[in-house]
Amino acid sequence: MAELATKVRIRVHRLGRDPCELELPAGATVRDALRAVGADPALAERGDLAVRGRGSLRSLSLDTRLEDQQDLLLTQEVIGGAQ
């Protein structure tokens, strides 16, 4: 039996992008989703981009396998402020 595609909803904050839905192959990871929306996985490795699951405060690792209908929230970390 062939594996079904994984549908993922991506919500991107502070990156100037609208939410989008992706259809990725079964077994796709957070890294695959980032690449699919044109985001560099290296940003998440350095801690400049947080990737969280819906309702979670914890960042997901790049190797986390995505579940069908999963929501991801990408948030670019902001440092500093008004002076």
Provide the residue ranges of all domains of the chain, joining segments of one domain with +: 6-76
Helix (H, G, I), strand (E, B) or coil at 70: strand
Say if residue 26's pLDDT is above 80: yes
Tell me the CATH architecture of domain 6-76: Roll (3.10)
As beta bridge partners, residue 63 has none
How many degrees, rounded to 5, is the angle at CA 27 between CA 25 and CA 31? Answer: 90
Q: In this structure, what is the dihedral angle of CA atoms 35, 40, 19, 25, given to the nearest 10 degrees?
A: 20
pLDDT of residue 11: 66
pLDDT of residue 62: 93
